[in-house]
Amino acid sequence: MNIEDIWSIKTWGQLAFDPLRPRLFFTESVPDRRKNRMSHRIMMMDTGPSRAVAALTAGPSDQAPAPSPDGRWLGFVSRRSGSAQVWRLPLDGGDPEQVTYIQGGIKQFQWAPDGRGMVVVAHIERGLLEREKSAEEPGLGAPDSELERYFNRDVKHIVHQYYKLDGTGYFDQGRDQLVWVAMDDGHMELLTSGFDHFSEPAFSPDGESIFFVHRPYDPDSPPHPSVTSIERMNLKTRERFRIPLPEWMMHALAVSPDGQSLAFVASKPEDHGYGLAVLYRLDMATNELIDLSSATDRPVGDESGTDVPGTGTARPIWRNDQVLMLLSDRGRVTVTEFDRGQTRTLFDEKRVVYDFACQGDSLAMAVADPTHPSGIVLATVGAAQESPLWAPVPWSEHDGPVAPEEIWAEESDGTRVHTWCLRPPHHTDPIPVVLEIHGGPMAMYGYRYFHEFQCLVAAGYAVVYTNPRGSQGYGWEFCRSIMGNWGDKDYRDVMAGLDAALKQWPDLDPERLGVAGGSYGGFMVNWIVSHTDRFRAAVTMRSVVNRFSAMGSSDLGWLRVPQYGSKPWWEDPAPYWQQSPLKYASDIHTPLLIEHQEQDYRLPVEQGEQLYSALKYLGRTVEMVLYPNESHGMSRTGQPWHRVHRLRTIIGWFDRYLETR
């Protein structure tokens, strides 16, 4: 594998069945080297015997295909006009036409059951539904008032606790509102208004009501930005009703075919991310709330990580009286059927299903495995087998990714640690090893392709990676056990995984070790090199360095206070400082490369700069690479040329310090 292979890696997702014909619509994504961005177009697969695949749109910004219920149109989101708007393509032939022209753009849309209209989620400023336009510089002779307004449009006046979000930036004055759009004449009408946010519209089967998620934006309310409610609106009277539910973080709504029940996913804010995402079923006639998934002790949804993600819109799907949803379990992600008190995994394989669609007994899955970044599988629910994987790849059968080997390490207290190892297929000398640590920590490595790992293997390194305590997919207690106490059990777990790999594969060189990780994984790199000199080189990426300062500078810092006690960080700094690798900087002797993104709001760039300044002051071997105009997720979704540069830099650093004997 080569770093440059990233330009040829295509991923597929956002699956949707045609309601009338045997075919499947989906989004294809691939990096564009000339434009330095991801390119997206809409594709179609014949689900009959031919399995023929064709492009329906040329791109480069077409996503989220959704056919109208009558099969006449294929709706999708595109930036063809300059901002994200809904377009529709006639499925009996013809060119796409623009449906919405809303200033601020749209984020989601949902067809009405009769196909005569749709509800879109639009970003509305000042409560005004305005026609799409670009901001033009004032012309000659413009009054000072207009010039002042134009040249100060980027000034930020902040009044809320929650005022920025990584990947989004600083919030503007707009709100996400629901808008009705008629298909016959294009008439648009605001369904919601005010200072709150609304999203995820889902129609009742008769089309008379919509359900949606309501997120308050009140500066005087308890400052948790993710707590939501679910509401129902009668589209004839415009009356709204709040469904009585706890104060949870709720999303992914799906209405049952009979309109009597609602499925949704919820997490509890008091778990601080260390809990389980749970699938619930609400009987709206009796208000009976049924927990469908927590008995599995596994989270619903896809918790796996990768640096070449496919687009996914997975949400619960009703099939008869059961609900289908993804479930993350020990590195796997599967489509699972949930009934009252019972679960059944469909087509359980060592892979990750990151998106799926179901129509009757027909099931389509967007999947990834360690040697395939993306692919599509068709199946029939209840059948013993599925179709062969459709996954065109840019490499030959004999020249491509290396498959991992796996073991279960055992930590000294008996904890079993899921561990994988990728080894170069052809080598003579003992192999230098890079230990990789995932972010989160509430995530998981899984049976999924990682381009970074494969490029390290191609450069002659073995890669060892583990799911230590704190990871999802191994149970509630396994994940929660490190809350507020990083660098103890998780540190022992990753080291136990490394030691087990060195013992299992004698061709690994225990003298030439490197360590790398990002976000929480970056914290672990910082913690490891400040607590042992065992590694010859390290790469810490977008990392946690100073817990105390991050509490005030991170987009979600203040939410972590309950993990460390009852007092804010300035009143009781001790637990935050104890959890800060900067406290132990004097003990770092390992050559360290610090990578950070300048527009990272989750762990702002000051985190990396503090560690760099400290180590430079001490005269230690340290370098820092900063990427402009990039957020915390750059390694996955950033500008492709930055991702290429990042991989070259990481491999170059290890080449410098893990030299051949």
DSSP per residue, 66-116? EE-TTSSEEEEEE-TTSS-EEEEEETTS---EE---BTT-EEEEEE-TTSS
pLDDT digits (tens, 9 = 90+) for 271-313: 999 999 999 999 999 999 999 999 999 999 999 999 999 998 8
The pLDDT of residue 219 is 61
Of 364, 324, 371, nearest in space to 350 by CA: 371
Share of the chain above pLDDT 70, in %: 99
Among residues 300, 262, 297, which one has the least CA distance to residue 279? Answer: 300
**Cβ of 409: how many Cβ atoms within 10 Å?**
23
Question: Measured between alpha carbons, how far is 293 from 299 in angstroms, rounded to an integer?
Answer: 8
Q: Is the pLDDT of residue 449 over 90?
A: yes
> For residue 661, is pLDDT > 50?
no
Q: State the pLDDT at residue 659.
A: 79
CB-facing half-sphere around the CA of 583: CA atoms within 13 A:
17
- Give Cα separations from 223 to 218, 228, 251, 508 (angstroms): 9, 12, 19, 49
Instruction: Please report the domains of the chain, with CATH numbers, ordered by start residue.
Output: 12-74 (no CATH), 405-545+580-657 (3.40.50.1820)
Cβ–Cβ under 8 Å, residues 29 and 42: no
Based on the residue annotation, tell me whether 160 is a catalytic residue of this protein.
no
DSSP E strand stretches across 361-461 = 362-369, 372-380, 405-410, 416-422, 431-437
Active-site residue (options: 519, 549, 554, 631): 519
Closest C-alpha to 380, from 447, 321, 319, 339? 319
pLDDT tier at 578, thresholds 50, 70, 90: very high
Q: Residue 144 corresponds to which amino acid?
A: D
pLDDT attached to residue 401: 95
Look up 635 and say whether it is catalytic.
Answer: no
In the predicted structure, residue 194 carries a pLDDT above the cut 60: yes
The Cα 611–Cα 592 span in angstroms is 10
Active site residue: 123, 293, 632, 635, which one? Answer: 632
The pLDDT of residue 398 is above 90: no
Judge whether 549 and 583 are in contact, CB under 8 Å: no
Position 222 scores a pLDDT of: 57
Distance in angstroms (rounded) separating the CA atoms of residues 634 and 596: 9
562 alpha-carbon distance from chain centroid: 25
Going by pLDDT thresholds of 50, 70 and 90, the confidence category of residue 221 is low
pLDDT at 150 over 70: yes
pLDDT tens-digit profile of 474-512? Answer: 999 999 999 999 999 999 999 999 999 999 999 999 999
> Is pLDDT above 80 for 134?
no
pLDDT in tens, 304-349: 999 999 998 889 999 999 999 999 999 999 999 999 879 999 999 9
CB 520 within 8 A of CB 440: yes
CA 336 to chain centre: 20
CB 557 within 8 A of CB 601: no
